[in-house]
Amino acid sequence: KTIDKKKKTMARTADFTDDGTSVGAGDNDTYTYDNDTLTEMSRATNNNSKGNPILIKLFSSCEDDALGSVHRAWAVTVLFMVVFFIVSCIEATKLHEEYGSSASYALQIAAYWSAILHLLLAIAGTFILKRFSTAFTVGCFLGVAVVVSQQDLLLFASFYHYQHGNLMFNLIFADLALALCILLTFFSLILGHFRNHIIVK
């Protein structure tokens, strides 16, 4: 009898359905669970899952609103990317004033390309988070965000001490690229940590 009861309990646990009900194995009993109970079960499952201890401690305050935390982090990042797009276009225009300088021409292309890349990332990232959050798209988005953050670090190193063009705009562009590198790195960490809350099965 004890073995049969354990089997029934295990079967009932495995028979959960998305509408919040479970059907007992071997009988006709149906159990209904409210949303709060299902939420607690989901949280317990997530807490039992393995993760990076550093990230768990770092983002512990965001556990109650993981989805909102990711969206807010992305909103701040998009705001900086829009500003970066404008500054990049101005920086490329300033560099265009230096005729005959091959280094200036190369950095002008880099400024234009980085402006276009950040604008496309802002649009695609917003679409993925809001409308198309599959495992594949979120994974691609996370990878691109990491790559772009490293590109921003290279832009910072290239423009920080560049002595041609407008020195003030060179410094502003470099500092903004460094800020975006930090923001995208932070966003990549929080997105990777809470990816299960974002991905739609």
Token pair 């807490």 is found at: 47
> In whole angstroms, what is the distance from residue 101 CA to residue 98 CA?
6
φ, ψ for residue 67, nearest 5 deg: -65, -45
Amino acid at 19: D
Phi, psi dihedrals of residue 162, rounded to the nearest 5°: -75, 125
Helices and strands per DSSP (H, E), number in the chain: 8, 2
The tens digit of pLDDT for each residue in 24-64 reads 444 444 445 455 544 544 543 454 355 678 877 878 888 88
Q: What is the DSSP string of 27-38?
A: S--EEE--HHHH
List residues bridging with 23 in a β-sheet: 30
Residue 179 buriedness (CB in 10 A; 0-12 / 13-18 / 19+): middle
Is the full-model pTM beyond 0.85? no
pLDDT for 118 beyond 70: yes
Residue 161 DSSP one-character state: T
Cα 97 to the center of its chain, rounded Å: 37
The answer, yes or no, to whether residue 183 has pLDDT greater than 70, is yes
pLDDT for 103 equals: 62
Q: Is the pLDDT of residue 138 over 80?
A: yes
Task: Give the rounded distance of the alpha carbon of 182 from its chain centre.
Answer: 13
Mean pLDDT of 114-126: 95
CB 138 within 8 A of CB 199: yes
What is the rounded distance in angstroms from the CA atom of residue 200 to the CA atom of residue 159?
Answer: 40
- Is pLDDT larger for residue 7 or for residue 73? 73
